[in-house]
Structure formats: structure tokens, C-alpha cells
Amino acid sequence: MSSKKDLRRKRREQEQEQKQARRKLNPALLFILGITLTLCLVVGAYLSFAERGGSGDPPWPGAVWSSAHGHWH
């Protein structure tokens, strides 16, 4: 038969283990954060390396860029 002191000690140890278990991040949350970070990096890279306001090469021969409309005619 356990004494009251032993029971209290065991209960405290269980509570501490539960607190430590709660501190760990959920794997699903880590996955979602990883996907979000990856998407942010891709969008940031696209915005930093994309041509700004440039018409680029014409999509077909004889196409004319319209600066008023912002697309090829």
C-alpha cells in the first residue's frame, strides 16, 4: 500500500509529464506552418524577380503593346 506522500509525488510527476507533452507542437500545425512559409517564399521570390511594368516579348508576330490598356493588341 502506498503512502500519501508517494501518491502525491506520483500525481505531481504525472502533471509535469502532461505539461511537457502539451509544450510540444502538433505535427499537423508544423505541417501547415511549413506549407505557409513555403508559399510565402515562393510569392516573395516571384515578386522580387518578376519584371515590373514591362511588356516583355510580343506573344505573337505583329502584336502591339498598348500602354493605355496594359496588354498586347
User: How does pLDDT run across 18-56, given as a tens digit for each residue?
Assistant: 877 777 778 899 999 999 999 999 999 988 887 666 667
Q: What is the pTM of this model?
A: 0.46
pLDDT-based confidence at 1, cuts 50/70/90? low
Nearest 5°: CA angle at 16, between 14 and 22? 105
Handedness of CA 64, 67, 72, 73 (dihedral sign): negative
Measured from the Cβ of residue 27, the count of other Cβ atoms closer than 10 Å reads 8
Is 56 in contact with 43 (CB distance < 8 Å)? no
Cβ partners under 8 Å of residue 73, min gap 6: 63, 64, 65, 66
